[in-house]
Amino acid sequence: MRALRLLLLPLLAVPAITRAAPADYPTEALARYVLECTAVNGYSPDTLRRCSCSIDEIARRLSYDEFVEAETVLAMRHIPSGRDQVALYRAPWSQEIVDKLRQAQVEADLKCF
């Protein structure tokens, strides 16, 4: 029995394998999110794992199209207002998708960080 425990002990040191994000997220989008996340939170193996977990959790809550829509709204909001095209991204409909992304990010942070 002791020999069996010694054989199985190294398996406990292997990190748990997490499920992959839904297939509708392109690899490029996943990689970009993880790169941006590690740039903000520090480059380390632990941060890489946490940031990967974070986008996986977001991907479980938002379709890729919703994610792109929310990211687009947030990017457009950084453009100085006064133009009709930019004002569209401050409309109530756009806040709903941003709120959905923010909620997914909070839940991902709670689980992964």
What does the pLDDT look like over 79-107, one tens digit per residue? 876 666 666 777 888 999 999 999 999 99
Pick the closest to residue 22 from 46, 55, 71 (CA basis).
55
The answer on pLDDT for 13 being more than 70 is: no
Report the sign of the C-alpha dihedral through residues 85, 90, 94, 100, in that order.
positive
Burial 85-100 (b: 16+ CB within 10 A, else e): eeeebeeeebeebbeb
pTM, two decimal places: 0.75
Residues 6+ apart with CB under 8 A from 34: 48, 51, 52, 55
The answer on pLDDT for 20 being more than 80 is: no
